[in-house]
Amino acid sequence: MAGACVLCVLFPEQWPAMSQPPSAFSTVGLISRRDSPEILDSVVAVHDCLVRHGRGVVVEDVTARTLPGFRGEEASRVELGERCDLLVVVGGDGSLLGVARDLAHYGVPVLGVNRGGLGFLADIPPDQIDVRLPAVLDGAYTSEDHFLLDARVLHDGVETGRSPALNDVVVHLGTMTRMMEFSLWVDGQYVYDQRSDGLIVASPTGSTAYSLSAGGPIMHPALDAIVIVPMFPHTLTSRPLVVRGQSEISIVLDEAGTSDGHVSCDSQVDFPLRAGAEVRIRKYGTPLRLIYPVDHSFYESCRSKLDWASRLGGMPRAGRPDQADGSGA
């Protein structure tokens, strides 16, 4: 049966002719988590569903190489951003982070099929591809704009590295179990000097990622704000700081520091830092537009992913307030 399913993706010309698609998503790019052949069944399911519904499908060249004998249309990731009306990413949130950094500036909407862990960003489960994906193609979806951060690394005033980040920018010492010293500035105003394991600067999207594990607040993705979270600060009074989304944040390493540091964007792109280096962070120019099924809810995601729905005794609460029966139970 698995072989027959692959034949569908290898020979799309065997599908029956379809009418022109009714929505704006006429050309769809397909990207999967790299080096993960175990999710091939979901990649095939998405491809076959798109073809059945009359869409032109362009598969990322790296993904196409995971499909034995693939003879369909393929293109580089950059070309997908230039040509497609919609991108479907099969993988986890990590796969979506990479797509966001690479392609957000093209403004192409992105839909995620979750084959990873929590799946805050990739919302469609693999067993619902044939139900959820056609509905999106027919126009039954919601969209959210998630802004990215733009991190620049400067040594002696010269830029030595730059990358966007959808979740967070983290300044740290890498594997060394010792503290680093730095100063924090926001919009040119001095905030504090700190000795800690590092600093997390997160977008609302990233507030449910590394920032959350460090004690940061959960922020609704529609907020225009940035959170700054210290990592194990050597003080009893240091707390996360939320600033406006238009702020420019500057982190300057102590020039007398004896250890070099690192700055990490989404835990996927890393730049070295020397003593006296500066990291400047501000909002990226173009947001990532995420597509969700119409019943998507950020709060439901928090309940299911963060186990908010649990109660002592295992009894769920009643429905919405307007559905309460007034019993007080």
State the catalytic residues.
93
Do residues 166 and 100 lie in contact, with contact meaning Cβ atoms separated by under 8 Å?
Answer: yes
Do residues 280 and 249 lie in contact, with contact meaning Cβ atoms separated by under 8 Å?
Answer: yes
The first and second tokens of residue 185, run together, are 């500035």
For 170-181, the three-class secondary structure string (H helix, E strand, C coil) is EEECCCCCCCEE
The first and second tokens of residue 97, run together, are 């982070």
Do residues 30 and 77 lie in contact, with contact meaning Cβ atoms separated by under 8 Å?
Answer: no
Q: Give Cα separations from 195 to 153, 182, 234, 273, 278 (angstroms).
A: 20, 7, 6, 16, 16
Rounded to 10 deg, the angle between the 40-52 and 129-137 helix axes is 40
For the chain, the maximum distance between any two Cα atoms, rounded to a whole number of angstroms, is 70
Q: Which residues pair with 199 in a beta bridge?
A: 171, 230
Q: Give Cα separations from 148 to 110, 164, 212, 246, 307 (angstroms).
A: 14, 6, 17, 12, 27
What is the H or E stretch that residue 159 is in? strand 158-165
- Pick from 85, 10, 86, 9: nearest CA to 45: 9
Alpha-carbon distance of 181 to 159, in angstroms, equals 21
Residues 6+ apart with CB under 8 A from 26: 20, 55, 56, 85
